[in-house]
């Protein structure tokens, strides 16, 4: 158990951060799942709209440090390629 005031504060801050980051990750996963569901259904328009909503969420996660930048870029690139493949 923490004894110093700074250690106690660190525990409180880590708990807050964990809650916030957890909700961010959940929101990102939900938007990505909607894109993947639209791709699986074969609806190009719905997939494009969902993708437009998912990209800012993913980039925000990158900016906030929840996800690594290369991971976000890779996921965006792969989703975009799958959406483009639907149009052909």
Burial of residue 29, with CB atoms counted within 10 A of its CB: 0-12 exposed, 13-18 middle, 19 or more buried? middle
| Per-residue pLDDT at 1 | 84
Per residue of the chain (88 residues), what is the pLDDT tens digit? 889 999 999 999 999 999 999 999 999 999 999 999 999 999 999 999 999 999 999 999 999 999 999 999 999 999 999 999 998 7
Q: What is the CATH number of the domain that holds 54?
A: 1.20.58.110
Query: What whole-number distance in Å separates Cα of residue 3 and Cα of residue 54?
Result: 43
| Per-residue pLDDT at 34 | 97
Rg, the chain, Cα only? 18
Burial of residue 24, with CB atoms counted within 10 A of its CB: 0-12 exposed, 13-18 middle, 19 or more buried? middle
| Per-residue pLDDT at 87 | 82
Q: How many domains does the chain have?
A: 1
| Per-residue pLDDT at 2 | 87
Q: Which domain holds residue 13?
A: 5-87
Residues contacting 55, CB < 8 A, separation 6+: 76
């Amino acid at each position: 158990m923490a004894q110093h005031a700074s250690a106690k504060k660190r525990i409180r801050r880590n708990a807050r951060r964990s809650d916030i980051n957890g909700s961010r990750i959940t929101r990102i996963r939900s938007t990505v799942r909607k894109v993947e569901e639209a791709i699986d259904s074969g609806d190009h328009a719905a997939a494009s709209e969902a993708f437009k909503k998912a990209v800012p969420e993913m980039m925000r996660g990158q900016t906030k440090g929840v996800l690594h930048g290369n991971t976000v870029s890779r996921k965006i690139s792969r989703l975009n390629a799958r959406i483009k493949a639907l149009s052909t």
